[in-house]
């Protein structure tokens, strides 16, 4: 029965991501750590006003179509124009029209006449990431250099041990309820020389207020500080700071190509956690060691790299080996095969942290019912909204979802008809599944 509910929920999540109509005064594009491609069109035209761009479009997250209405209704003529424009977009870009990305139509209402309308943007904004193969290729070159900076020395095969200075807490201060902007202000004030600001907070609201916040001034090695300073995106580290783990925790990490934007943060987090007296249990996975899609069998896809250690060098080498063996290829991953493998490898596991790609739904969801321990899903890349599929996976498993803004608990207790917000997205429990509400 649970498997049937999960299949229903995934179908529901995919179907309701199809297309939504929104009426706004003027369109405003999203900002975040993703790529965008702008495809302009003139008012009342289905022709594209630009040359074909030389970009590598891999995973498409979302497409926003922007048009302008001169009255309050969407006429039959407007609908025909919309349809022609979508067809032209797919022809021009080569994007698969049947992809599972989110599609939005924004009708702008601020123009009083055609002259005003011609001053507004019309066309498409595509939110995407490069292909996993390109990201994987880049990671193989960038991550060794990042770790070299982190370690402060060349990483050779002859290197047997690596000791980094253990972080030392200099001070801790309670600042109460503050905004993200205030947190950033404090970081800039105290990030001097080799001092980091590390945060702890009890909860984060949808209003982006960090409740009961404390910060710690921490002395770290020059390498750690240099790598922290290099990070443009710290969103994953923000999520990690809300996680609690101990000697009985299994940490499972997706290292396929699509996770490349987060590799540096993952490496830094693993480094900050390790010291000479604390052993961690890891499994890194790459979805099959470069197997072709047709060779990937649920439950035995492979590409799994475990390591039980208190040495950051061991973690780095396991990560590097996992990355070198394959980058995933297709979008779905073998998340739950990796979790089950970790449970077989290590005794006394009581908690599971799964670090995964928000846009890559596991290919092996049928295996989730075999996992009896609730999972903390750390979803990377959810700045455009958490994938409903992961909400349903957490609901079935009685686990948690961690996003940049908040941690979602008790999803399994959501009842039919319950409505709730995750960021700016509205969700409803419908037929036992969590579906995006439009």
CA separation for the pair 227, 249 (Å, rounded) = 26
70 and 208 in a single domain? The answer is no
Q: Is residue 9 one of the residues assigned to a domain? A: no
For residue 428, the surrounding DSSP H or E stretch is strand 425-430
CA separation for the pair 308, 317 (Å, rounded) = 12
User: Scanning the structure block, which residue is given the tokens 């990560």?
Assistant: 319
What CATH code is carried by the domain that includes residue 401? 3.40.50
| Domains of the chain: total | 3
pLDDT tens track of the chain, all 438 residues? 444 544 544 445 444 445 678 999 999 998 877 899 999 999 999 999 888 888 999 889 999 999 999 988 899 999 999 999 999 999 999 999 988 889 999 999 999 999 999 999 999 999 999 988 888 899 899 999 999 999 999 999 899 888 888 888 899 999 999 998 898 899 888 888 788 888 888 877 777 788 999 999 989 888 999 999 888 888 888 788 778 888 899 999 999 988 988 999 999 988 887 765 688 999 999 999 988 888 999 999 999 999 999 888 999 999 999 999 988 767 789 999 999 999 999 999 999 999 999 988 899 999 999 999 999 999 998 888 899 999 999 999 999 998 877 788 899 999 999 999 887 788 999 999 999 886
Tally of CB atoms within 10 A around 250: 27
Q: Are 411 and 377 in contact (CB under 8 A)?
A: no
Minimal CA–CA distance to 361: which of 13, 8, 3? Answer: 13
Edge-to-edge strand ranges of the sheet holding 249-254: 304-309, 280-285, 249-254, 351-357, 375-380, 400-402, 407-408
Beta bridge partners of 305: 284
What are the structure tokens assigned to 368, written together?
Answer: 């989730």
172 and 241 in a single domain? The answer is no
155 and 244 in a single domain? The answer is yes
Q: Are 368 and 393 in contact (CB under 8 A)?
A: yes
100 and 178 in a single domain? The answer is no
343 and 415 in a single domain? The answer is yes
303 and 412 in a single domain? The answer is yes
Q: Is residue 295 one of the residues assigned to a domain? A: yes
Burial class (CB in 10 A: 0-12, 13-18, 19+), 36: middle
For residue 319, the surrounding DSSP H or E stretch is helix 312-325
Q: Is residue 17 one of the residues assigned to a domain? A: no
Cα-to-chain-centroid distance, residue 212: 26
190 and 280 in a single domain? The answer is no
- CA torsion angle 363 437 382 307 (round to 10): -40
What are the structure tokens assigned to 315, written together?
Answer: 């973690």
209 and 242 in a single domain? The answer is no
Range of the domain at 57: 35-128
45 and 152 in a single domain? The answer is no
175 and 158 in a single domain? The answer is no
Q: Is residue 79 one of the residues assigned to a domain? A: yes
282 and 431 in a single domain? The answer is yes
Q: Is residue 8 one of the residues assigned to a domain? A: no
| SS3 assignment, position 375 | strand
Q: Is residue 313 one of the residues assigned to a domain? A: yes
Q: Are 320 and 221 in contact (CB under 8 A)?
A: no
Q: Is residue 1 one of the residues assigned to a domain? A: no
Q: Are 355 and 251 in contact (CB under 8 A)?
A: yes
Tell which of 176, 191, 219 closes a domain.
219
114 and 140 in a single domain? The answer is no
Q: Is residue 4 one of the residues assigned to a domain? A: no
């Amino acid at each position: 029965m649970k498997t049937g509910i999960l299949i229903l929920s995934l179908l529901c999540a995919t179907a309701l991501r199809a297309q939504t109509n929104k009426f706004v005064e003027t369109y405003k594009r999203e900002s975040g750590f993703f790529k965008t491609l702008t495809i302009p069109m003139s008012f009342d035209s289905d022709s594209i006003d630009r040359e074909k761009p030389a970009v590598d479009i891999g995973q498409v997250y979302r497409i926003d179509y922007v048009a302008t209405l001169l009255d309050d209704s969407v006429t039959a003529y407007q609908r025909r124009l919309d349809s022609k424009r979508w067809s032209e977009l797919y022809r021009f870009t080569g994007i698969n029209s049947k992809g599972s990305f989110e599609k939005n139509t924004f009708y702008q209402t601020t123009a009083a006449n055609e002259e005003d309308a011609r001053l507004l943007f019309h066309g498409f904004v595509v939110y995407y990431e490069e292909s996993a193969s390109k990201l994987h290729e880049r990671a193989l070159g960038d991550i060794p250099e990042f770790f070299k900076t982190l370690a402060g020395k060349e990483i050779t095969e002859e290197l047997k041990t690596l000791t980094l200075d253990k972080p030392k807490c200099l001070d801790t201060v309670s600042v109460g309820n503050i905004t993200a902007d205030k947190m950033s202000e404090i970081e800039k004030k105290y990030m001097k020389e080799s001092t980091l600001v590390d945060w702890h907070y009890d909860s984060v609201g949808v209003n982006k207020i960090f409740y009961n916040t404390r910060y710690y001034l921490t002395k770290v090695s020059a390498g750690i500080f240099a790598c922290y300073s290099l990070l443009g995106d710290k969103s994953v580290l923000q999520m990690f700071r809300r996680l609690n783990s101990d000697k009985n925790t299994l940490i499972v990490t997706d290292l396929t190509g699509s996770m490349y934007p987060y590799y540096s943060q993952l490496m830094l987090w693993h480094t900050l956690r390790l010291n000479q007296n604390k052993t961690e249990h890891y499994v890194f996975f790459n979805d099959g060691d470069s197997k072709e899609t047709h060779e990937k069998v649920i439950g035995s896809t492979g590409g799994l790299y475990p390591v039980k250690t208190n040495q950051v060098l061991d973690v780095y080498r396991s990560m590097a080996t996992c990355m070198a063996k394959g980058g995933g290829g297709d979008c779905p991953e073998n998340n739950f095969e990796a979790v089950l493998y970790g449970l077989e490898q290590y005794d006394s596991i009581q908690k599971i942290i799964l670090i995964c790609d928000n846009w890559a739904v596991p290919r092996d969801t049928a295996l989730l019912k075999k996992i009896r321990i609730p999972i903390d899903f750390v979803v990377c890349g959810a700045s455009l909204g958490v994938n409903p599929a992961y909400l349903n996976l957490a609901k079935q498993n009685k686990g948690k979802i961690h996003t940049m803004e908040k941690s979602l608990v008790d999803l399994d207790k959501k009842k039919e008809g319950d409505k709730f917000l995750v960021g700016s997205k509205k969700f409803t429990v419908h037929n036992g599944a969590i579906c995006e509400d439009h």
